[in-house]
Amino acid sequence: MESTASQLRNRKWTRDCYLISTDTSLVPIPELNAAFASEEFYWGKPLPAPVMRETLQNSLCFALYDIKSHPVEVAETLLRAQVASSDEVSTPKAENAPTLLGFGRIITDYTTIAFVTDVWVHPSTQGKGLGTWLVQCLQEVIESMPHLRRSMLLTGSWDKLVPFYQKLMKMDLMNENVGKDSLAVMTMI
């Protein structure tokens, strides 16, 4: 019987020309590190490629790709080829190659706890519902864990993301009475 971790690490969702996959072997490290280096990713920073790859392998990751007009299997093959060419530096991509547009990860034991972190969507795609879809996929997986005790996340965006996570992930604030200059601690029990 396949383990829960193995099952969850091989999930995928498609919508129009977009793919969300939990297969970390598809994630192009240079593109992800570019996201981590962006102003929008203010809470993190890029990591050396081997450290980033290990971080991904030790988490349940959700990567959002624009797969253009490719069938999913072709897009996955193209992404694997891109990853195999180099984790260290960004290499020129084919004109119609799949592109990383979003990311999120869950630090989990795959049974009782899920800590959501590093949720990001490229600014050029914001407002198209892709971030909502990405978070819905994270929540779908969290809710599929039959022995889950708690899911948690931290956010510094009180005005925008606290209501967003309350609505989409059924999260409650654990620290409502602190100043807005501190992180919001959110949980779903």
pLDDT tens-digit readout, 87-106: 555 555 667 889 999 999 99
Tell me the C-alpha distance between 157 and 169, whole Å: 16
Q: What is the pTM of this model?
A: 0.92
Tell me the C-alpha distance between 48 and 21, whole Å: 23
pLDDT grade, residue 182 (50/70/90)? confident
Percent of the chain with pLDDT over 90: 79
- How is the chain split into domains, by residue range? 4-105
Q: Which two tokens stand for residue 46?
A: 């890029």
Please name every residue paired with 117 in a beta bridge, in sequence order, or none if there are none: 105
Could you read off the pLDDT of 61-88 as tens digits, one per residue? 999 999 988 999 999 999 998 888 765 5
